[in-house]
Amino acid sequence: MARFLLVHGSGHGAWCWRDVRPALEALGHEADALDLPGSGDDNTRAGEVTLASYARAILARLDAPSIVVGHSAGGFAIAQAAEIAPEMISRLVFLCAYVPRPGASLIEMRREAPEQPLAGALETSADGLSYRFTDAAIAANLCADCPPEALAFARARLGWQPIAPQAAPFEAKGRSTDVPRSYILCEQDRTIPPAHQRAMSSGFDPADIHRLPTGHSPFLAAPGALAALLDQIARG
């Protein structure tokens, strides 16, 4: 069976995979999740967080080649890790995630989307180093199809997202593109428009593009279906 490392997106932490990890383990896999620097229970100051530190944190968590899943902004983090040590990653899985373009930052790529569903949905910290989702955006954008308990769970834990790693251009040497990769497109996503997901995954082998009929948080809205799809991807 496969080893999975689950990497969260903006404002999230390892907590968001609470239902996916046991579902994967029930299917016979090993599943781990981490808090990226400055997120979840990690107390790194926002001004010290970089895209490179994300990549290092991911690689420090791997002790054998693994399938690394990145949700949303986590797509940049997992791809940067693959640029440094592709031999430690057996497959990259982009879960309704940004697929980095060399030289472009996540912020730049977000602005390229055909729609901007997060307009007015973010608030910036007083020091200008972080942002977080408004309470209205958590319900309407991130967790639109989540059951009430899962929505409350996310509301209580979503935190500040350091801006610096999302303003940094993706540094590519072509090593990450040598790693097998899959894309999971979430068809009801109100955070990263499905049309933008289709555009970012257009260079993938069609056999490696999968779909879930969910919004932006399938790990809370449909964890069993997500685990089953990851199991399918692992089995090839």
Using DSSP bridges, classify how beta strands 122-124 and 130-133 pair: parallel, antiparallel or unpaired.
antiparallel
Q: Does 206 score more than 80 pLDDT?
A: yes
- The contacts of residue 228 (CB under 8 Å, 6+ apart) are 23, 27
User: Average pLDDT of 36-41?
Assistant: 97
pLDDT at position 173: 83
Q: Which of 77, 4, 35 is nearest to 229 (CA)?
A: 4
CB atoms within 10 A of CB 164: 16
Alpha-carbon span 54 to 36, nearest angstrom = 6
pTM: 0.97
Is pLDDT above 90 for 175? no
pLDDT at 198 over 90: yes
Range of the domain at 78: 3-235
Question: Which CATH number goes with the domain that contains 201?
Answer: 3.40.50.1820
Strands (E), 121-180: 122-124, 130-133, 161-162
Q: Which residues of 8-28 are buried (b: 16+ CB within 10 A; e: fewer)?
A: bbbbbbbbbbebbbebbeebe
Report the candidate in 87, 8, 1 with the shortest Cα–Cα distance to residue 40.
Answer: 8
Structurally, how many domains does the chain consist of? 1
**209, β-bridge pairs:** 183
Residue indicated by tokens 């180093």: 129
